[in-house]
Amino acid sequence: MNRSRVLARRIAWALFTLLFVVVLNFFLFRVLPGDPARAGIRDPRLTREAQEAIRVRFGLDKPVINCFESLNPVKLGSCEVNPFETQFFIYIGNLLKGDLGISYHLNQPVADILRARLWNTVLLIGAGQILAIILGMGLGIAAAWKARTAIDYLALLGSLMAWSLPTFWLGIILLFWGSTDLGLPIGGKLTAGGSATNMVDEWIDLGRHMILPTLTYTIVFLGEYMLIMRSTLLDVLSEDYILTAKAKGLSTFQILKDHALQNAMLPMVTLIALNLGFTVAGAIQIESVFSWPGLGGAIYEAVVRRDYPMLQGAFLWIAIAVIAANLIADLLYSTLDPRVEAG
């Protein structure tokens, strides 16, 4: 049918949103007060020449955009300048080349720093989310299937507790327990000055470092998935078509598998996508408890140091992740629910 048209429309919307975010992201950071010469590098001993050299290095000597020399404070400028000589188009041009500018603080390309950090976050969150989704949904299904039995009440109690635990506190408790009783590393991604001599040892070392933060992350998210899965599944199980399925002679297992789950997955897909998108920002608390070198830590540091290019780059990544997750959720939703196509 018109599936491909729906697909095209969804992708176009995502791209449009992305464009909007890119533009917003640029102006947001020009409207904020300060440039590195004043805010980023607050060293009174810098000479005027040195400050000027810094402005040139970060491209801040150019007008922000045609007609505007700068936006904070607002300073009008010539409208005749070559647009490609303005900060805005240089920023866009650099973006297209994958260049996110240079970190004020670390003096390295933002894209390089973020890339390494992003993969660490994806690794941690990916593992945590996958575990939380599998366990949470599994528990939710079991609880709904055995609704109002001991299994249900236990799962419910456990999930409510997991959901209400403060992340930071849970992290510290697990860290304490894991590092003393289990001898797991207390933080970081790899053992410093690594003794690992081959790939396998390195992977094992990474795995040992991941256990505690992943466990924390899983517990924090598992409760939410379980509770939502259970309640949507219970709603679905009270629908008329479930009675039809039962009347047709289907077993409880068949009813769950062939009729209930697909319907119950609809709200879950949205929830998972939103969670995934936003948590690329890094589980800031978990990353800081376990000194995990992820995006969350990078953002925290950039805020403290007023490292605008870093923040700008990180925001862009987060926006891309959220938009992509939503796009995937939309597409998945329309394959799960035939009614979406009509609308």
Partner 1 sequence: MINDTNIPSTLMEVNHLSIDYVTPGRPPAHAVEDVTLTLREGEVLGLVGESGCGKTTLMLSLMRLLPAAGRIVGGEVNFMGTDLLNLSETDIADVRWKRISMIFQGAMNALNPVRTVGDQISEAITQHIPMNDKTALDNRVGELLDLVGIAPHRKVEYPHQYSGGMRQRAMIAMALACTPQVVIADEPTTALDVMIQAQILELLQTLQQKLGLAIILVTHDLGLVAEMCDSVLVMYGGVTAEYSDVDTIFNEPKHPYTQELLKAFPDLSNPRETLASIPGYPPRLDALPPGCRFAPRCPAVFDRCHVEQPDIHAVTPTHYTSCHLVENS
Residue ranges binding partner 1 (CB under 8 A): 239-241, 243-251, 258-259, 262-263, 336-339, 342
216, two tokens: 């924390």
Q: How far is the CB of 138 from partner 1 (least distance, A)?
A: 21
Q: Are 175 and 289 in contact (CB under 8 A)?
A: yes
Q: What's the CA gap between 269 and 329, in Å, rounded?
A: 6
Q: Which helix (H) or strand (E) holds 69?
A: strand 68-71
Q: How far is the CB of 145 from partner 1 (least distance, A)?
A: 13
**Sequence-distant (≥ 6) Cβ neighbours of residue 12 within 8 angstroms:** none
Q: What's the CA gap between 39 and 41, in Å, rounded?
A: 6
Residue 75: strand pairing partners: 70
Q: What's the CA gap between 296 and 278, in Å, rounded?
A: 11
Question: Among 224, 235, 230, which Cα is nearest to 141's?
Answer: 230
Q: Are 122 and 217 in contact (CB under 8 A)?
A: no
Residue 265: other Cβ atoms inside 10 A: 20
Question: Among 267, 270, 242, 228, which Cα is nearest to 141's?
Answer: 228
Query: 3-state DSSP call for residue 58?
Result: coil
Residue 331 identity (one-letter amino acid): L
Q: Are 268 and 228 in contact (CB under 8 A)?
A: yes
Residue 196 identity (one-letter amino acid): A
In a 13 Å sphere around the CA of 327, the CA atoms on its Cβ side amount to 18
Classify residue 184 as left (phi > 0), alpha (psi -120 to 50) or beta: beta
Residue 306: other Cβ atoms inside 10 A: 18
Q: Are 125 and 283 in contact (CB under 8 A)?
A: yes
